[in-house]
Structure 1
Amino acid sequence: MRNILLLLTIFIISSCKTDLDLQPISSVTTDNFFANSNDFVQGTNAIYNDLLKYPDRCYNLSETRSDNLYAVSDGGVRDWEGVNDFYNDLSTNAYMSEAWVTNYNGIFRANLVLQNLAERGSLVTDTVLRTRLQAEARFLRAFFYFDLVRLFGKVPLVDKTVLAAAAANIGRSPVSDIYSLIISDLKYAADHLPATNGTTSTADTYAAADRGRPTKYAAKGILALVYMTRSAPTYSIDGPGLGLNEWQQAADLLNEIINSNNYAFLSSFTDIFSYTNEYNKEVVYNIDYTSGASPSVGASYPGILVPDTYFSAISKNTQGGLTIRPVSTNLLNSFETGDVRKAFTIQTGYTNTNGQVETRSFLKKYVDITKVPTVTQDWAINFIVLRYTDVLMLKAECVLHGAAGSQTADVDAIVNKVRTRAGLTANKVNVTLAELMEERRKEFAAEGSRWHDLIRSGLITSIIPAWIATEDVQNKIQPFTTNYIIYPVPKSQLDIAPGLYTQNNGYN
């Protein structure tokens, strides 16, 4: 982490949020940068830069890890193959370092803004703006830490800026301590962020130019997911589950989102992800991208879903997806006949430029072949982190775990609502947790939730071994153990201060 904390000695700002009116600056030290309100806005905007690769990480470390993909390579060794196959030597895998370093870089930027607000916040003369910037920074810090906890379990707790020498002595904190900071930050954000977007900025409304920043309902939604994740089984590891019973706390927050009437269940599944329908009523929180800027602030996630040979086959520029990451047979067979989500989410084969027929399938949600950018990985589509359908189905999950509500009246109604939109018969009664999770699997495939859903539900210890037994026809996947619920600490971090961190069990 010492390396992480050195990254912003020179504070160079760029961001994935072009809506946020960024003006890059250079050769400005953190000691003298924060001198007026605009500087604090720019400093806060810089934190968003570390969300840029979050969707890619969802694909690489959640979708690929799960039973949604049978991601064995068809030539060469890919970083994602070891993730899919439960290798125990992943500490040198590039995906581990990216997740650790990027999240801590974001945390450092958030801490830097928060520290300067505490020390010289009076320079932000608009008190409403000052409070909002603090709430944004705390939301983002919580977001980064939640990602770290779900991926690595125990991590170093750094809630203020520290020098490199001090950072080299900060060990990993218990997961419960990390959660305490996350919850405190999200509660503050929920109390102080604006609720909506409007035409002018007020304490409870973002100006139109600030569209894309988190609202109080985004904070409530992430906080609900935090409570649900803490309530997952511990699996006897230092992972994200603490075995708590916080389903009611989560349900209360989800009901606040529902009762706000700020969001709606769209009648068309495909409209949720349309390039011409961003910021639709389904979106509770998304990460913004815009193509055509320099430096690029477009999305790379759609491009890495798709193998390069497919883009070549349709006469489009390749996007760096390299070879195919096949959808599992298990996921393909889980869709019922007539389910509109299957054709929209999955490309079932194609013929490449050599005339060879590729029979394997790949995920393609967020990919519009009429919108393929000419510049590699510069897609103009936002990534939805939390949407209204998720809120409804998370509420159903809480009810199944004992939160206030009727399973028949609430859970069945929500599941059948989702099925009706998918073009299926609304015939589910007395829906079980396993059935709910199977419906979530089809609804959110390619959105990065599957691995975390399996962990949170407690179903991972039965579903993943059974899936390996039937899916792994090439005998490449290693036996699953609960140690593999989380990932290893990157070796690059272990080497910075030998002996400071202990590697997670089960990994070299």
Structure 2
Amino acid sequence: MKKIFFISAIALSFFISSCKKELNQLPISQATLVTFYKTPSDFYQGMNAVYSSLRNYPDRLDYLSEIRSDNIYGVSVTVRDWDPINNFARGIAPNTYVEEAWSADFNGIFKANTVLDQIATNGSAIGSTSIATRYQAESKFLRAFYYFDLVRYFGKVPIVDHPILATDAVSIPRSPVADVYKLIISDLQYAIANLPASYTGTDVGRASKYAAEGLLAQVYMARSGATYGIEGPGLGLNEWNLAIPLLNDIISSGLFSLNTTSYANIFSYGNQSPVPTGNREAVFDVMYQTGLSGSSSIYGADFPWQLTPNGYFLSIKDSKSNGSLEIIPVSNDLVNDYATGDTRKAATIYTAGYTQAGSTENRPFFRKWLDFTKIPTTSRFDWGINYIAIRYTDILLLKAECVLHGATGSQATDVDAVVNAVRARAGLTTPLVGVTFDQLLDERRKEFANEGLRWFDLQRSGKLVDIMNAWRTKEDAQNKINPITANYVIYPVPQSQLDAAPGLYIQSPGY
């Protein structure tokens, strides 16, 4: 694993805490002013702080995308925090995972705003115009990344593009989704124009031009998705052709390629560095650092075990690792969707069962990011694997999706050939001809299961409500899941935000 900068013990020293104790949540509470940066090291650490807000991004995908989708049937014996997410409960505004998504993303946005403000104010202290420009581009990429995350979960959110005081934050309402997208697109266009194609040394893994292009392509595709009649991420703009040049530039760069060794090798602990030195599937990684002896902080990953039951670890006599409090089973519908011989199934889902304390559990669970020979020796929060946030296979299949929606491209070359190459890597040798959108959506489900893309794919498809209700009828043997309506395409505004400034935000319909 490459040692870099993403998870850093820093941020607190850069922020002056608010004196308004009653405003105790982000963004309202921790909107702050900062001290001036004075040295190149200050800016370097400040930039690292912006990356550090990515730490729990993979966990958020587990709970708000995977569990929300038809990939998981997460009904617990004892009601857990993920149950209301799985069950489409109306009263989830105070939910831990909903609160975390809003707070963590705005925390990252505030850090990005801080760096951008300090470069504008005191950027000469960096000592290099080119480094200052790159930091601006990195900060704008990450601000766009966090805002795109917010838009896909919450729809309308406040626009905060500079450091502010808590007294100012309580007057900033949610902005229309179209306005949030304007900031995201502007930030990413700047990032594309000013980020390098790749890095060397300890900078490997920072946001590149191609990471920004991949993210902007996803933005145009999300905007092109169905509106569902709500103020969510889809605007029905039919911008599929705007995504194509961005995806083509990544494909033609020569830096990335399908991992032909095996599907499982994409997620191997020995294949962790992004290009140009390592994993050629990784267009953008959330990077972690494990095994820092003598450190009081943990910089490794915890996302590998979030969807693995603690009972499994106990069954293999591992007392160092903890998993989920109860099993969060993969849905039968997904398990049965894999064809015979599809190697993605075994690499993604653990189906062998286990016995712990005299009780046998045969329901399957996700295992894609786990290597049971690499269990950390010190802490369950210190797994040694990075998270591929933008994967090259996704770039290829996103282009296929655009072509199927009428964008420039070839059915044979850009859709069928790509889908068949992905299937061939998974051991499926019978080619498909004339791949349809529904077939592509199904292939994406199997290819990216346990990577947090399913909910966003369903959002974009325009078929989310129909697919989820049909799945609910088939899967929900315990009759726990509420009927899915268009309002549930996005999440509610967290209750803490409504309480912190009564009347500032209007709750999203349906909650």
Query: Structure 2 length as normaliser, TM-score?
Result: 0.92
One-letter code aligned to 1:475: N
1:202 alignment partner in structure 2: none
Deviation at 1:143, TM superposition (A): 0.4
2:336 alignment partner in structure 1: 333
Are positions 1:271 and 2:265 aligned together?
yes
Deviation at 1:25, TM superposition (A): 8.3
Residue deviations 1:147-198 (CA, integer Å, cap 9, x gap)? 0000000000000111110100100000000000000001111111111123
2:134 to 113, 125, 132: 132
Are positions 1:122 and 2:124 aligned together?
yes
- C-alpha distance in structure 1 between counterparts of 2:371 and 2:343, whole Å: 16
Identity, % of aligned positions: 54
Relative to 1, partners in 2 of residues 1:161 and 1:467: Cα closer, same or farther, differing over 3 Å?
same
Could you list the runs of 5+ residues in structure 2 that have no partner in the other structure?
A: 17-32, 274-278
Count the aligned residue pairs.
482
1:322 alignment partner in structure 2: 325
Residues 7, 55 of structure 2: 8 Å contact kept: no
Relative to 1, partners in 2 of residues 1:331 and 1:22: Cα closer, same or farther, differing over 3 Å?
closer
1:166 to 162, 165, 168: 168
Residue deviations 1:338-389 (CA, integer Å, cap 9, x gap)? 0000001000142223232211000011100011113122111000001110
- C-alpha distance in structure 2 between counterparts of 1:269 and 1:31, whole Å: 46
- C-alpha distance in structure 1 between counterparts of 2:333 and 2:98, whole Å: 27
- C-alpha distance in structure 2 between counterparts of 1:431 and 1:355, whole Å: 48
1:36 alignment partner in structure 2: 39
- C-alpha distance in structure 1 between counterparts of 2:199 and 2:257, whole Å: 15
1:9 alignment partner in structure 2: none
Aligned positions of 1:347-366 closer than 5 A:
347-366=350-369
1:191 alignment partner in structure 2: 193
- C-alpha distance in structure 2 between counterparts of 1:290 and 1:262, whole Å: 24
Residue deviations 1:79-122 (CA, integer Å, cap 9, x gap)? 11111110000001001110001111110010011011111112
SS at match of 2:364: strand
1:284 alignment partner in structure 2: 283
Aligned positions of 1:63-462 closer than 5 A:
63-74=66-77, 76-198=78-200, 208-267=201-260, 268-279=262-273, 280-293=279-292, 294=295, 295-316=297-318, 317-374=320-377, 375-462=379-466
RMSD of equivalent CA atoms: 1.6
Deviation at 1:18, TM superposition (A): 4.2
- C-alpha distance in structure 1 between counterparts of 2:7 and 2:149, whole Å: 27
Relative to 1, partners in 2 of residues 1:26 and 1:389: Cα closer, same or farther, differing over 3 Å?
closer
Further displaced range: 30-39 or 402-411: 30-39
Relative to 1, partners in 2 of residues 1:21 and 1:393: Cα closer, same or farther, differing over 3 Å?
closer
1:5 alignment partner in structure 2: none
Residues 340, 423 of structure 1: 8 Å contact kept: yes
- C-alpha distance in structure 2 between counterparts of 1:504 and 1:24, whole Å: 35
- C-alpha distance in structure 2 between counterparts of 1:24 and 1:181, whole Å: 27
1:8 alignment partner in structure 2: none
SS at match of 2:504: coil
Residues 20, 209 of structure 1: 8 Å contact kept: no
- C-alpha distance in structure 2 between counterparts of 1:67 and 1:24, whole Å: 38
Deviation at 1:37, TM superposition (A): 1.5
Relative to 1, partners in 2 of residues 1:99 and 1:431: Cα closer, same or farther, differing over 3 Å?
same
- C-alpha distance in structure 2 between counterparts of 1:122 and 1:323, whole Å: 53
- C-alpha distance in structure 1 between counterparts of 2:370 and 2:461, whole Å: 29
Residues 177, 232 of structure 2: 8 Å contact kept: yes
Could you list the runs of 5+ residues in structure 1 that have no partner in the other structure?
A: 1-15, 199-207
One-letter code aligned to 1:41: Y
1:477 alignment partner in structure 2: 481
Relative to 1, partners in 2 of residues 1:337 and 1:448: Cα closer, same or farther, differing over 3 Å?
same
Further displaced range: 358-367 or 310-319: 310-319
- C-alpha distance in structure 1 between counterparts of 2:484 and 2:135, whole Å: 43
Further displaced range: 55-64 or 284-293: 284-293
- C-alpha distance in structure 2 between counterparts of 1:330 and 1:27, whole Å: 48
Further displaced range: 485-494 or 350-359: 350-359
- C-alpha distance in structure 2 between counterparts of 1:456 and 1:103, whole Å: 21
1:61 alignment partner in structure 2: 64
One-letter code aligned to 1:252: P
SS at match of 1:90: coil
- C-alpha distance in structure 1 between counterparts of 2:491 and 2:10, whole Å: 35
Deviation at 1:462, TM superposition (A): 1.9
Residues 327, 365 of structure 2: 8 Å contact kept: yes
SS at match of 2:369: coil
SS at match of 1:385: strand
- C-alpha distance in structure 1 between counterparts of 2:108 and 2:437, whole Å: 35
Deviation at 1:455, TM superposition (A): 0.8
Relative to 1, partners in 2 of residues 1:403 and 1:343: Cα closer, same or farther, differing over 3 Å?
same
Query: Structure 1 length as normaliser, TM-score?
Result: 0.92
SS at match of 1:305: coil
